[in-house]
Amino acid sequence: MSNTSHIVLPTSNFKKKALIFCAPSGSGKTTIVKHLLSIDSRLSFSVSACTRNKRETETHGKDYYFLSIEDFKQKISANEFLEYEEVYGGNFYGTLKSEVERIWAQNKTVIFDVDVEGGLNIKKYFGHDAIAVFVKPPDVKSLEMRLRERSTETEEMLKTRVDKAVHEMEYENKFDKVIVNDSLDEALAEAEKMVNEFLK
């Protein structure tokens, strides 16, 4: 029996592309990303890695790749991340290069739901093969109202999120496309059109 190895190549017309959605907290980007995934079989969601504790409702490999801080730092040393950052309370979040390769191996376009700085780093990495989309509320007051309606924040946390959002909105001109989420139906339609144009 011969030891011939079999290499499965992607279909010749498949182009490795990435969609990057970023927004201040409460702008509706996750709703838009979930909608696109539910209607477009060409897309697959990039699962991030993190070091925070897994919640009871979460699944490893579906919601996040839950890693120990030691594992995460080892992967940083081995240059396995596209981007990563340390956020609230010493937790690390990042995008594994292997996750993107996994999705491309299925001949699918990878879609990211990440924070603003992470998104800009991913865009820098992929260049013209990615489109970076900034989702924004019509104004800061609307954003604050949406966050209050969630009833998940203390006043202090709410202020922190709003301040961060004001800072993040300064980055919108660095993105390829801006979607103002004033009417959700219109924002979803705009996102669908943009994806179709990017992938055609």
Question: Domains in the chain, start-ordered, CATH in brackets?
Answer: 18-199 (3.40.50.300)
Place of tokens 């596209």: 82
Q: What pLDDT sits at residue 2?
A: 43
Residue 89 Rama label (left phi>0; alpha psi -120 to 50; beta): left
Q: What is the pLDDT along the chain (200 residues), one digit of tens a residue?
A: 444 444 444 445 789 999 999 998 888 999 999 999 999 999 999 999 999 999 999 999 999 999 999 999 999 999 999 999 988 778 999 999 999 999 999 999 999 999 898 899 999 999 999 999 999 988 888 888 878 887 777 888 888 888 888 889 999 999 999 999 999 999 999 999 999 999 98
Rounded distance between C-alpha atoms, residue 23 and residue 28, angstroms = 8
In the chain, the amino acid numbered 147 is: L
Q: What is this structure's pTM?
A: 0.85
Reduced 3-state DSSP string for the chain: CCCCCCCCCCCCCCCCCEEEEECCCCCCHHHHHHHHHHHCCCEEECCCEECCCCCCCCCECCCEEECCHHHHHHHHHCCCEEEEEEEHHHEEEEEEHHHHHHHHCCCCEEEEECCHHHHHHHHHHHHHHEEEEEEECCCHHHHHHHHHHHCCCCHHHHHHHHHHHHHHHCCHHHCCEEEECCCHHHHHHHHHHHHHHHHC
In the chain, the amino acid numbered 116 is: V
